[in-house]
Chain A
Amino acid sequence: MATATGAPKASFRLSMLLYDTRYRSMTIQVVVLLLFMAGVAWLVDNTIRNLETLGKDFSYGFLWNRAGYDINQTLVQYSNDSTHARAMLVGLLNTLLVAFMSCAAATVLGLIIGVLRLSPNWIIGRLTTVYVEVFRNIPVLLWILVAYAIFTEVMPPPNAFRGDTPTASMILFDSVALTNRYTAVPDPLFSRSLGNIDLGLFLVSVDLLAIIVVITGSILANRAILARATRVQNATGIRPVTWWKSLAVLVLPLLLLLVALGFHVERPQLRGFNFTGGINVSNSLMALWLGLTLYTTAFIAEIVRAGIASVSHGQTEAAFALGLRPGHTMRLVILPQALRVIVPPLISQYLNITKNSSLAIAVGYMDLRGTLGGITLNQTGRELEAVLLMMLIYLAISLVISGVMNLYNNSVKLKER
């Protein structure tokens, strides 16, 4: 009579480390860990030995030394007597400035071109396709260099604007002058300014703070008005008219504040050989902005097109069948579904813009790469420290951008069970 023997005794043999799937992953991980540690130790050991050979140490003390070089475009006070750390801050802010400007412009343009690409109109469809294919398939460096060449080679010198019969004229109602050295744009000024607060690191304009506070307040108030209208609608079935209240709440306080602060725009004026009065934006910034924007617009246009095309036409028809107006259909049905597809790749485009802004070096714009990774590195000879710090800062920027955009993505993504 056959008897069932008990389960084999659980005994551990050394070969089970390799053949038993329960233990094998542990073995592999231990081996990987050992290899990884060995690799890191090897690199660190090499670095220490190399530093010793060169007679260098590893320290960030150089950041507090005098920088001794000038930066043509700064958002905060800076002179060549400032420290390397200050120069790094200036570079970081310049990186963020051009990245922000390019993101904003590329999003708007990309939205327009992406929508136009879906248009049944043959000419528009072809034109936008050509735009997208041409700009996507050619390196961004070329577009930046082309933009720079346009600004420096094609634009007239400032003195061409002079005289009774000038050969060049300003554009946009005599407010912007494109020259081969800089772009003169109007300067927003406050005649009754509230002054600045010194934060130690940089100055913050109280006027700007006041404007931000007022706009935030207006938006919150408007939300309250709309929420109240919805409550009334839910209770009585009739939605009170709110557009004039919203308009008043949104516009009037800001207008009052601007009048109180004495807001006016100072146009650039040609005095002598140069434009004064406005802000003279360096052409390297303009070229970088233009190049990055045109290039990224092509990618964003494709993302927008794919996003809208991913919402099936049945959705529109269903919304119409429910009696929604076209505006509501777009806002309540199409857009939420399209955004779900659009936002994740849009995040990576914003990251790409930030990373591509390091091409500023090609046109001499002093971004983080130009200050910390450029002149500071060359002056102090601290390659290791400067490049590591620069990588760390770029990494931090990328993580912050993707973190913020992921928060937004969570608010639009498909809510699953």
Chain B
Amino acid sequence: MSDTHAETVAYVRETMLPQAAPPVSEVGAVKWLRENLFSGVLNTILTLVGIAVVIWLAQAALPWFLHGVWKANSLPECRQIIAERWGEGAHGACWAVIRERWNQFLFGFYPSELYWRPVLALVLLFVALAPILFSQLPRKLIRGSALYPAVAYILLWGGSLWVPLMAMAGFVVGWAGAALGRRTGLPLVAPLAAVLLPILWWLFAAGPVADQLDRLFPLWVREVRSDAFGGFVLSITIGVAAISLSLPLGIVLALGRRSDMLLVKALSVGFIEFIRGVPLITLLFTASLLLNYFLPPGTNFDIILRVIIMVTLFAAAYIAEVIRGGLAALPRGQYEAADSLGLDYWKSMRLIVLPQALKISIPGIVSTFIGLFKDTTLVIFVGLLDPLKGITDAVRASIEWKGIYWEPFMFVGAIFFIFNFGMSRYSMYLEGKLKRDHR
């Protein structure tokens, strides 16, 4: 029976067939094109429109870039070279202006024999930032970074070495006061000493001591006044100073806004909402016009310092709002867990709440920083030479480069783009690195 049954099957394949190649439409470039560009009627139309836009942009801009001239002494000379080389009516970029005036765009009117100082300050900035930005480096390097503000000040402004050193000494005074206060064993002496002593030092002691030391051991670096600052030296100085100052201030304001203390909360809310409600220009105006009214008669201090203070206050209000979002996003259980461990307010904030809240707020904080760096261009309206309008106007005011618009804008725009794009990419790297949830 079984034999006959086996016979009923006409044909049984005994060998495997070799694998056939997939259909043409399912592999390689064709598949990619079908999936990404021509997957439907709408998609095809969009693709065609996109290609048209690209072609139109290329047609408009490419010859202009290709005809670019790097060696010329003036705009008319540029135009002449382009006309000779590419025929009458040809358009071309005149990059010669960048070649001739790059130093102004980067350094403003900083003395040219001292260019190494801002450059060194920038290099040292990255050295000082490295241990903060990248956790692979040894942690102890951060102590060295703490010295950076004094170093940068000496490099940028010069003058007597004792002034920034004595200013930094305020922190040492505070630390020493706290240590001594702790030794007395009396309550409250240490924190009071840590806060009051540096303030007293800065208000009354730092200036005279620096003067005396200067008379005894004159240590001088050639001074550069603030009105020589301009271009990206100015932008980066203001940007970096305001960024590093606004983060701690923003954290304090955010904590103040979430505080249980009615008065602290009201003051924080008032400050944040006021700053966020007015344009930065009006604050810069306050810095340049109104501080003379608000400060004791006869006080007059550096305009760059005033601008840094105002930009810091401005950015701090925005950062406070970003961090408040992070604090609110943290589950309540984290606060309660910190309390149940018996941690006091500051310890629970420092060890439990803030590390997590700051991690959540990283994208917002970095985009505030990017906004701040972009806003440094507004200092033109209080008479400082920002790279965007101040320096390009100065360049255009010379007879050789009258009427040149696009090349300086592109150069300055490109540098801003590199800095800001770099910052946003770093924030994405940091976000990925600090991610602790399920991947």
> Which residues of A are interface residues toward B (Cβ below 8 A)?
18-19, 25, 28-29, 32-33, 36, 43, 46-47, 49-51, 53, 116, 119-124, 127, 133-134, 136-142, 145-146, 149, 153, 351, 355-356, 358-359, 361-362, 369, 373, 383-384, 387, 390-391, 394-395, 398-399
Q: How far is the CA of A257 from the CA of B431 in the complex (A)?
A: 58
B 271-291 contacts with A by CB, 8 A: 274, 276-282, 285-286, 289-290
**Is B413 touching A358 in the complex (CB atoms < 8 A)?**
no
Whether a CB of chain A sits under 8 angstroms from the CB of B328 is no
Task: Check B264 against A29 for contact (C-beta < 8 Å).
Answer: yes
Which residue of B46, B188, B416 is within 8 Å of A124 (Cβ)? B46
B285 contacts across to A, CB distance below 8 A: 373, 387
Check if B282 sits within 8 Å of A46, measured CB to CB. no
**Contact yes or no, A141 B277, CB < 8 A:** no
Interface contact B289-A122, CB-CB below 8 Å: no
Q: Does B102 contact A (CB under 8 A)?
A: no
A384's closest neighbor in chain B, by CB?
A: B293
- Contact (Cβ within 8 A) A359 B290: no
Segment of B50-58, B211-219, B351-359 in the binding face? B50-58
**Set B35, B50, B370, B377: member contacting A141, Cβ < 8 A:** B377
Closest 4 pairs (CB-CB, A-B): A123-B50, A137-B420, A398-B277, A355-B279
CB within 8 Å for A145 and B39 given contacts A124-B47, A137-B370: no
B416, A142: Cβ atoms closer than 8 Å: yes
A-B contact count (CB 8 A): 150
Kindly provide the distance from the CB of B47 to the nearest chain A CB, expressed in whole angstroms.
6
Give A32 to B37 CA distance when docked, in angstroms: 63
Q: For B290, list chain A residues within 8 Å (CB).
A: 383-384, 387
A366 to B36 Cα, complex, angstroms: 48
Report yes or no: A358 in contact with B282, Cβ–Cβ below 8 A.
Answer: yes
Q: Are A32 and B297 in touch, CB under 8 angstroms?
A: no
Chain-A contact segment, one of B160-168, B173-181, B404-412: B404-412
* Cβ contacts under 8 Å, B370 to chain A: 136-137
1/0 per residue B290-302: CB within 8 Å of A?
1011111100000
Contact at B277–A123, with CB atoms within 8 Å? Answer: no
Number of interface residues of B (CB under 8 A): 58
Q: Residue B262 at the A interface, CB < 8 A?
A: yes
Q: Could you say which of B262, B276, B378, B409 contacts A359, with CB atoms under 8 Å apart?
A: B378
Contact (A51, B278) CB under 8 Å given A29-B261, A387-B286:
no
| A24 shortest CB reach to chain B, Å | 10
Report whether A139 and B374 are in contact in the complex, using a CB–CB cutoff of 8 Å: yes
Question: Using Cβ atoms and an 8 Å threshold, which residues of chain B touch A119?
Answer: 43, 46
Min CB distance A122 to B, Å, is 4
Could you give 15 example pairs across A and B, Cβ below 8 Å? A18-B187, A25-B260, A25-B261, A32-B263, A123-B50, A133-B421, A137-B420, A137-B421, A141-B377, A141-B378, A142-B409, A153-B403, A361-B281, A369-B281, A391-B278
- In the complex, are the beta carbons of A134 and B277 less than 8 A apart? no
| A-facing residues in B347-406 (Cβ within 8 Å) | 370, 374-375, 377-378, 380-381, 388-389, 403, 405-406
Q: CA A222 – CA B36 in complex, angstroms?
A: 43
Partner of A46, one of B261, B262, B274, B297: B297
- Structural contact, A383 and B39, CB atoms closer than 8 A: no
Q: A142-B416, A394-B278, A398-B277 are contacts. A124–B50 as well, Cβ < 8 Å?
A: yes
What are the residues of chain B within 8 A of A359 when measuring CB–CB?
A: 281, 378
Q: How far is the CB of B39 from chain A (nearest CB, A)?
A: 7
CA distance A123 to B37 in the complex (A): 7
